[in-house]
Structure 1
Amino acid sequence: MQRRLIATAVLALAAACALPVHAAPRPVAPMVTTQLPRSAVPRHYEVVIAPDAVAGTFAGKVTITLDIIAPTDAITLNAADLAFTRATLAAAGGKAQDARTSVDAAAQTASFTFARRLAPGRYKLALDYTGVIGTQAAGLFSLDYATKDGKKRALYTQFENSDARRMIPSWDEPFYKATFALSADVPASDAAVSNMPIVRRTLLSDGRTRVVFAQSPKMSTYLLFFGLGDFERVTKMAEGTELGVVTRRGGTGQAAFVLNESAAILKEYNDYFGVRYPLPKLDNVAAPGRSQFFGAMENWGAIFTFEYAMLLDPAISTQQDRQEAFATVAHEMAHQWFGDLVTMAWWDDLWLNEGFASWMENRMMTRLHPEWNTALNVVSVHDRAMLRDAMVTTHPVVQRIDTVEQASQAFDDITYQKGESVIRMLENYVGETAWRDGVRAYMRKHKYGNTVSDDLWASIEKAAGKPVKGIAHDFTLQPGVPLVRVGAPVCTNGESVVLLTQGEYSRDQPSRKPLTWQVPVVAQTLGSAKQARTVVTKGQATLSVPGCGALVVNAGQNGYYRTLYSPQAFDALSVQFGALAPVDQLGLLSDSWALGLAGLAPIDNLLDLAAGTPERADPQVLAKLTDVFMQIHALYGTDSPRRQRFDNYAIARLAPVLARIGWDADSGEAQTVASLRADLIEALGAFQHAPTLGEAQRRYLALQREPGSVPAALRQPVLAVVARNNDVAGWAALRAAAKAEKTPMVKDQLYMLLASVEDKGLSERALELALTDEPGATNSAAMVRQVAQHAPELAFDFALANIAKMNTRIDESSRSRFFPSLATSSGDPAMVAKVQQYAAANLTEGSRGDAQTAVAEIKDRIKVRQERLPEIDGWLARHAR
């Protein structure tokens, strides 16, 4: 694909009011990025779409009110896979003139050239065109699903990051905000939904209905939405807004949780942001199927979400599903402000959308559902970011985006999880009230507009009355993870005095010269309620902490850095590990594991902590331990004797925990216990723990005889254990169940389970099945990726051997991400060359970021296996019975 270079210059914008033709618009905008000529700016789109779901095509008409801001003889906008049949331009009150149309498919643009040079002023560009309805989630696309009455088809749109151009010729960039008036000519029996409410329905002569939606607020093209199908909608009024959940017919019974939680979230957000939600309605639209790229999309007033991420089926949904559904809704609703009301000027600052929405989702879970104890999520969030951020292939939070493919690749753990972690750290630094006041001022000042990161820092700094921008720049404009080394504390007059020095945590560049950050640090001694704070600048700081107990640095785990304790400081914490706050237990486990893998600390530190973790520790601490054991199990790969020795040790540690909490929930047990139970069952099944395998099989057989015999909380882990260990007969039976299933969400889950089998021959059958029509077009890529989790070499080779077919089952802008993702869990040296060869043959230089990351992760895994596994073997020889 041709790389498109982006120019950056001043974009002059016209005044918001209507201008007479030839009146020069008033420039009001600062520097912005665009891939389009700067001679025209859209103000309003009047769109009529006529989809033919059966044929997979649509006809469109759009009249674009625009301002010419510099003399030109052509107008160029974005268009992809559109064919134009008419193009005219008229000045206000003037005669329309025809345009000559030319399309650049590689650049995804259409240009309209005129016989007479256009003077600055206001015009209307009228276009008639046709387009294609896709089968993957890009542009206007279709989803087929099974029902008791046969197969049905629904239509939806997915425009982020750059696919509105597949349905509407437009200035398809976030800075070019405009209003939209959408109409659709649709079958009379179908229901249509968009960002705004329906204001009028008109019966057409051909029997279809023209559905007219109210005009939208000023917004970016990627936020427009249209859906059409055999839908049902349930509603609830909250805060003066009509909340709705739209599902396929028969699905609204699974929507009550999301609808009720949306009402509570909306109230919180209206208060927190200081600007009330401005649209008259807010729908959550649930769709069957899935995408390998995303689970939900924040279209303003019409959030799109795949069913598995939002609806709760009482027969199959777990506590984890409830939490994930809440997180999804809270995340996308936060975008209604951060992203929709105020939008980043260009994809460089995508984190302003995604980092804030991620932070708000976790904030809402903690605030509205304290019983879930999700405050401890802070550790897993920064762990995900640091896993990526400590590699040579990382990038800054604010990164340069030059192409559509690079914009797609920007939706990663740096943008989401590091962005969230930096926000949490800065809020902790300035205080919750000052941070909220800064966010409110930012919303008020920039609503319906576009921003860059420094606009936010200016608002926060003014509200806090203390310097923020310097720290923020250190963590967002440069990549990497700070490493804070903690010296041996010295107790003097009831205070612990400790020297902190700042380095850099790197997984694959042990000798690199560390970058420098201003690092906000919070420390606390065990047994003391008082905390000490400082900012490590110029590489070091001396901190006095009240009390003389074991010293916890990054107390509360809100800081984005790894903590490396001196042997003396670590030993003091290790001895009293059980007395630490659960969040700090998680932090110490996490740092010890990460630093051990990187060779910056003995791997024995992690294993000693694991051995000393109380059996009755917080369920989330035990879940972290379970996760680490699963990672070690995977590192051993096919080395059966060594892996078996470790698995035996893991079983000895975890089986007593499962025996204590039991397979069946006690009345009133903490919800975190339910999640831990599922983790333990799946882990012990992976370790081939005979009693767990036997009990899972027994309950699976009972489920076959009587569907309600296994509680929903156990159904997923039981199926996961059985599917992972399936034989030929079991796999065939599971496939038969998947083919017969009529509930889309359950059907999709069963096909994913078919791809989780570890037997090589059955994995090959799952891959072959993935490329048929049986699982559904949107499940193909997900099944291949599921196989890649346990057989990356097999999945990668299969996908490349069938690359033409695979490309038809992958969102076009995500192809540069999908194939490398299949290789990331490999530890085979041969995979390095395979990924590099794939990238060289299929990707432009600017779209190879994910391929380079995959190579770095493979090399890191090879190094860890060579250097760390012998250390684990040695520890087991000394400690395991």
Structure 2
Amino acid sequence: MGKGFFISKAVGIAAIIVGAGALATIIALSVVYSQEKAKNNDNVLPTDGGTTSKPPVTTTAPSNEPWDKYRLPKSLVPDHYNVTLWPRLKQNLTTGLFIFTGQSTVEFVCAEETDLILIHSNKLNYTKRENNHLASLTSLGGVKAPSIKSSWLQQVTQYLVLQLDGKLMKDHRYHLHTDFTGELADDLGGFYRSEYMEDGVKKVVATTQMQPTDARKAFPCFDEPAMKAIFHITLIHDLGTVALSNGEEKESSNVNIEGHDVQKTVFQPTEKMSTYLLAFIVSDFSFINNTIDGVLIRIFARTPAIAAGQGDYALNKTGPILKFFEKYYNSSYPLPKSDQIALPDFNAGAMENWGLITYRETALLYDETFSSNSNKQRIATIIAHELAHMWFGNLVTLRWWNDLWLNEGFASYVEYLGAHEAEPEWNVKDLIVLSDVHRVFAVDALASSHPLSSKEEDIQKPAQISELFDAISYSKVTSLTQNNKLISLFSLQTYLAEFAFGNAGYTDLWSHLQMAVDATGTDIPETVSNIMNTWVLQMGFPVVTVNTSTGIISQKHFLLDPDSEVTTPSIYNYEWIVPIKWMKTETIQHPKWLKNESVSGSDWVLANINVVGYYRVNYDQGNWERLLGVLSTNHVAIPVINRAQLVDDAFNLARAKIISTVLALRTTKYLNKEREYMPWESAVGNLDFFYLMFDRSEVYGPMQDYLRNQVTPLFTHYKSLTDNWKNVPVGHMDQYNQVNAISLACRTGLRECQNLTNQWFNQWMETKLNPIHPNLRSTVYCNAIAAGGAKEWEFAWSQFKNASIAIEADKLRYALACTKQPWLLNRYLEYTLDPNMIRKQDATSTIVYIANNVIGQSLAWDFVRARWSYIFTQYGGGSFSFSNLVNGVTERFSTEYELQQLKQFKEDNAEVGFGSGTLAVDQSIERTIANIKWIAENKQNVLDWFKAEEKP
């Protein structure tokens, strides 16, 4: 830890007063800012000739100048920052804006002689300092600092640029001072505001979301993950509000600044850390707390939520999960506190800021009256995910964003271990297959997928970085890691110990894995790097074919559309070193590595037991027939996870033309005897594709008849198990499968189910007392609103607007998209553009919900096309949710006309851009082409099969 740089109390207050004195100028500038913002999609802070310097307007292609490159030069290395920020939680009556003012001093070391300072800055407006420049520079150690020759803001690459009249000296230290202002906007990035109503009063929270590249919107900084530093944070805030940051509160005092009585809170310096993990929040929230082995744990939320006990579950589970990870990593939690806060407006699910984790309310707050078991599981797993990051990501951090998977992939895996520690009876680890393996298979089977690790030079722009926050980075490592004997616990511990408070790359992890393999004598066919690089440095995964008639086991690159062209080269020629574990007629065999292994025999063979390997499995026709026979006569002989696997593999192999679609459909015939959640969930997920392809065609009716017959026994089973729906199933998975039973039964038109959901909903409307169990509310609300009209929709909308529990509001928001009335859906789409109707954090997912409705599909697509520029500008092109939006509104596309529309959409909006949805546009085009071909080749066969199954 480097030495700290402190401003004395007297000097600090004086500087704040100077900043306050400039407030009138800042507010005047804000008027111009507001006008410019409406005209300029870049939203760059405007300037005038009085107190700020006007940035040059870059209209030509980037040159070779350092400030036209997106990566920082290596010449300067930050040591620590002193940052003071003052967010204004009241709207300026003249400008209509919320703003914050701040000042920053960063101490850096010159690693290479240079006459140029580049530091990240985005949407900040600077008060001129010495010699009319945007910053001032001083030297430490008696060496005179060169003067600033010119200074400006480079908008495209997001820099504050300072050209010097001399060179900074190697190994010498300097201070860079700035005073600045920014808008405390509602854009959910950087230092932003969140609003909510409490007792009829609108309240404002000033909060942050820095990952991946938005710390530069809060203060000028070297905003790259390898540029770790120590941060001294001070917040000026209104009396009666609470200030939080990564560090513990050091001192707090009331001060008067230019006639304003405010509070000044100084925080202890942070550990050495990356800018994207910073957080500072001002609110009037309440909290509950506990202390475990000297670590203070606090849960913050809106006061009514805390008073209602909605933070209790998180508080009770955080301690055990934290202690589990300390033992798992063999490393003590490195901070004195762990604050977790639920925010009304938050774009992601949660963010692992070191010592101050931020969440959506639905990801942290639990209320027994309103929260389902899936809500509870989400809270447990997200808390575990974020706490896992305290070591894997925060203590040891990626060097650059091309290795994002190092952070997110392992956190996504161990979240299941942490959640299992919190709720051992759930068997939540089994759900890795459904939640992660099947999820990432869908993306990684496309020719437009990408490797886990990209080249550094290919990931430069903020939008390219945001694009990496996808299923590949989060779920592929989880799929590779589960039960993989290469991932030694010891190796993770030594890796974390060596690189603590620093940065590392994936090759460093491979070295520690190899040391563990060597130390334990583990038998593997190649070095760790040779094995793992086949999975990390090339996209995709194999389909392993087990031919029991010839004894040959082979592999090839699995592509959902086998005719698609793979343009991404691979030094491994799309071959993988594959671990195989199989069973032969109920006897589990020893694991093998796929290197000239063989298997044969007349008994049935099942590979990839419990789906511990990241690959799909195909068999010769004879073995498929034997497996289908086992499913129909004694399905429990096959492990439950593999029953889910057989269904998922079969349907996806059929889409890839490896087996027939009829063979895939035959894997569902046994489901009328299946009572377990995982196989049913796998089937429902795959049959969703059939709904997307056929719910506008003549296949729909026969398909509905077949599936209704298949699900009716499951519906009847849960009716009996719950004593005619009076009780809740005991098991966690049973509670999930009860939802499947009702959802699919109502969806396929089972009259008893539809009457049941309508009866419950009507009872709620008439008595204003909700009789529906939280587990069932999403599906009951959806089906009742779909069956009803304006009356039901208006009632649900009223309940949504008045919901004080975010989890209940989310259930209603989803269900409102289920109506079959086009005019209501169109009105709902318009609401997504009004933050007073639908919060910005929920806008894109609401549009996707509407697109999932066959009636709303074309409405949502027309809406997105017509409003793309506005949506993209207002809801953040860098937002992680834009890939979900693009995929969601195009998921049903399966005609040549829709393909041409999609291509035209890409062309028409090339200048506006797609941000983090750029890759999703190409994936949607690829998926649409595959859908067109699949329907042409399969529609008649599918129709004939469903009809044949209905014959007596």
* TM-score using structure 1 length: 0.91
- Alignment CA distance shift 1:603-1:37 (3 Å): same
- 1:838 Cα deviation (Å)? 4.1
Given the alignment, which residue of 541, 565, 573 partners 2:619? Answer: 565
**5 Å matches for 1:213-228?**
213-228=267-282
- 1:695 Cα deviation (Å)? 0.9
- 1:296 Cα deviation (Å)? 0.9
Structure 1 match to 2:746: 685
Structure 2 match to 1:260: 316
- Alignment CA distance shift 1:476-1:835 (3 Å): farther
Structure 2 match to 1:186: 237
Which region of structure 1 is more displaced relative to structure 2, 387-396 or 372-381? Answer: 372-381
- Alignment CA distance shift 1:782-1:515 (3 Å): closer
Report the 3-state secondary structure (helix = DSSP H, G, I; strand = E; otherwise coil) of the residue aligned with 2:193. strand
- 1:290 Cα deviation (Å)? 4.5
Question: What is the letter of the counterpart of residue 496 of structure 2?
Answer: M
Given the alignment, which residue of 372, 377, 397 partners 2:452? Answer: 397
* Counterparts of 2:831 and 2:564, CA distance in 1: 47
The reply to whether residue 831 of structure 1 matches residue 883 of structure 2 is: no
- 1:615 Cα deviation (Å)? 2.3
* Counterparts of 1:596 and 1:322, CA distance in 2: 36
* Counterparts of 2:181 and 2:331, CA distance in 1: 39
The reply to whether residue 629 of structure 1 matches residue 687 of structure 2 is: yes
Structure 1 match to 2:653: 595
**5 Å matches for 1:678-717?**
678-704=739-765, 705-717=767-779
Structure 1 match to 2:393: 339
Structure 1 match to 2:413: 359
* Counterparts of 1:276 and 1:102, CA distance in 2: 45
Structure 1 match to 2:193: 142
Q: Is the 8 A contact 1:793 1:826 kept in 2?
A: no
Q: Is the 8 A contact 2:447 2:565 kept in 1?
A: no
Question: What is the letter of the counterpart of residue 463 of structure 1?
Answer: A
* Counterparts of 2:846 and 2:564, CA distance in 1: 40
Which region of structure 1 is more displaced relative to structure 2, 574-583 or 508-517? Answer: 508-517
**5 Å matches for 1:333-732?**
333-380=387-434, 381-400=436-455, 401-424=459-482, 427-430=483-486, 435-465=488-518, 466=524, 467-488=527-548, 498-510=551-563, 515-528=574-587, 530-537=588-595, 541-543=596-598, 549-577=603-631, 578=635, 579-613=637-671, 615-639=673-697, 641-662=698-719, 664=725, 666=727, 669-704=730-765, 705-732=767-794
Which region of structure 1 is more displaced relative to structure 2, 716-725 or 271-280? Answer: 716-725
Question: What is the letter of the counterpart of residue 435 of structure 1?
Answer: S
* Counterparts of 1:511 and 1:42, CA distance in 2: 47
- Alignment CA distance shift 1:129-1:382 (3 Å): same
The reply to whether residue 765 of structure 1 matches residue 827 of structure 2 is: yes
- 1:4 Cα deviation (Å)? 10
Question: What is the letter of the counterpart of residue 538 of structure 2?
Answer: Q
* Counterparts of 1:288 and 1:749, CA distance in 2: 16
- 1:667 Cα deviation (Å)? 6.3
Structure 2 match to 1:754: 816
Report the 3-state secondary structure (helix = DSSP H, G, I; strand = E; otherwise coil) of the residue aligned with 1:798. helix
**5 Å matches for 1:706-855?**
706-772=768-834, 773-790=836-853, 791-814=856-879, 817=883, 820-827=886-893, 828-843=898-913, 848-855=918-925
* Counterparts of 2:649 and 2:552, CA distance in 1: 19
Q: Is the 8 A contact 1:164 1:172 kept in 2?
A: yes
* Counterparts of 2:277 and 2:450, CA distance in 1: 26
Which region of structure 1 is more displaced relative to structure 2, 731-740 or 299-308? Answer: 731-740
- Alignment CA distance shift 1:747-1:199 (3 Å): same
Q: Is the 8 A contact 1:748 1:775 kept in 2?
A: no
Any gaps of 5 or more consecutive residues in structure 2?
Answer: 1-41, 43-57, 92-97, 130-134, 519-523, 567-572
**5 Å matches for 1:232-381?**
232-252=286-306, 253-291=309-347, 294-380=348-434, 381=436
* Counterparts of 1:390 and 1:584, CA distance in 2: 20
- Alignment CA distance shift 1:711-1:46 (3 Å): same
- Alignment CA distance shift 1:218-1:74 (3 Å): same
- Alignment CA distance shift 1:606-1:415 (3 Å): same
Q: Is the 8 A contact 2:692 2:892 kept in 1?
A: no
* Counterparts of 1:4 and 1:178, CA distance in 2: 33
Q: Is the 8 A contact 1:79 1:170 kept in 2?
A: yes
Question: What is the letter of the counterpart of residue 477 of structure 2?
Answer: G
- 1:506 Cα deviation (Å)? 0.6
- Alignment CA distance shift 1:358-1:742 (3 Å): closer
- 1:72 Cα deviation (Å)? 1.9
* TM-score using structure 2 length: 0.84
Report the 3-state secondary structure (helix = DSSP H, G, I; strand = E; otherwise coil) of the residue aligned with 1:251. helix
Report the 3-state secondary structure (helix = DSSP H, G, I; strand = E; otherwise coil) of the residue aligned with 1:802. helix
Q: How many residues align?
A: 838
Q: Which has the higher contact order (CA 8 A, sep 6+)?
A: 1
The percent identity for this pair of structures is 25
- Alignment CA distance shift 1:118-1:723 (3 Å): same
* Counterparts of 1:411 and 1:332, CA distance in 2: 15
- 1:766 Cα deviation (Å)? 0.7
Question: What is the letter of the counterpart of residue 829 of structure 2?
Answer: L
* Counterparts of 1:236 and 1:632, CA distance in 2: 50
Deviations 1:15-42 (A, max 9, x none): xxxxxxxxxxxxxxxxxx9701222110
* Counterparts of 1:708 and 1:741, CA distance in 2: 13
Which region of structure 1 is more displaced relative to structure 2, 507-516 or 214-223? Answer: 507-516
* Counterparts of 2:89 and 2:786, CA distance in 1: 38
* Counterparts of 2:157 and 2:613, CA distance in 1: 42
* Counterparts of 2:63 and 2:510, CA distance in 1: 26
- Alignment CA distance shift 1:232-1:816 (3 Å): closer
Any gaps of 5 or more consecutive residues in structure 1?
Answer: 10-32, 491-497
Q: Is the 8 A contact 1:474 1:517 kept in 2?
A: yes
- Root-mean-square deviation (CA, aligned residues, Å) is 2.6
Q: Is the 8 A contact 1:47 1:60 kept in 2?
A: yes
The reply to whether residue 54 of structure 1 matches residue 90 of structure 2 is: yes
- 1:360 Cα deviation (Å)? 0.5
Question: What is the letter of the counterpart of residue 754 of structure 2?
Answer: L
Question: What is the letter of the counterpart of residue 382 of structure 2?
Answer: T
Which region of structure 1 is more displaced relative to structure 2, 765-774 or 717-726? Answer: 717-726
Q: Is the 8 A contact 1:823 1:835 kept in 2?
A: no
Q: Is the 8 A contact 1:835 1:851 kept in 2?
A: no
* Counterparts of 1:810 and 1:878, CA distance in 2: 49
- 1:304 Cα deviation (Å)? 0.8
Deviations 1:126-166 (A, max 9, x none): 11111111212210111111222322221210011100000
